[in-house]
Amino acid sequence: MNTKKAILCGALFWVLIFFEVSILMFGFKLSMGTTAYYVLHYILLVILVVISSMIYFDKAKKSNSRIKEGLLLGIVFLVVGAILDSAITIPLFLNMDYSFFFSFEMLLSNILVLVVSMAVGLIKK
């Protein structure tokens, strides 16, 4: 695994999600917790994971365990996202409410990130 590239792709993924959530909340005036918000968010989340994973796997070394590398990439995405959320999102926008990490929606998003990054690793050859 190219750790530096994985971390940079994780940071890119976090920035894309940050803008996606901001556009949904402030541009489309959808509040977090509504069905429309979550439907759009999860659709866009899958697209953004695919884009970020494809950037990582572009020109990556051939490996027999691409699904494992996809899982590790997903874990890197989640760790980088958690660090950036802890440093930026929660203090600025959620008034230091770290229970945000343990909400059902976040757990579902995390599972989705892992599954999609593994799928991209499996498919991208």
**Residue spans per domain, the chain:** 3-15+43-123
What gap in Å lies between CA 8 and CA 53, rounded to an integer? 11
pLDDT-derived band of residue 10, with 50, 70 and 90 as boundaries? very high
pLDDT 10s digits, 34-89: 899 999 999 999 999 999 999 999 876 666 688 899 999 999 999 999 999 888 87
Residue 34 backbone dihedrals phi, psi, to 5 degrees:
-90, 155
Q: What is the pTM of this model?
A: 0.88
State what percent of residues in the chain have pLDDT above 70.
Answer: 93
17 Cβ partners below 8 Å, 6+ apart?
45, 48, 81
What gap in Å lies between CA 92 and CA 100, rounded to an integer? 13
Question: Does residue 12 register a pLDDT over 90?
Answer: yes
Q: Map tokens 């976090």 to a residue.
A: 14
CB–CB of 49/120 below 8 Å? yes
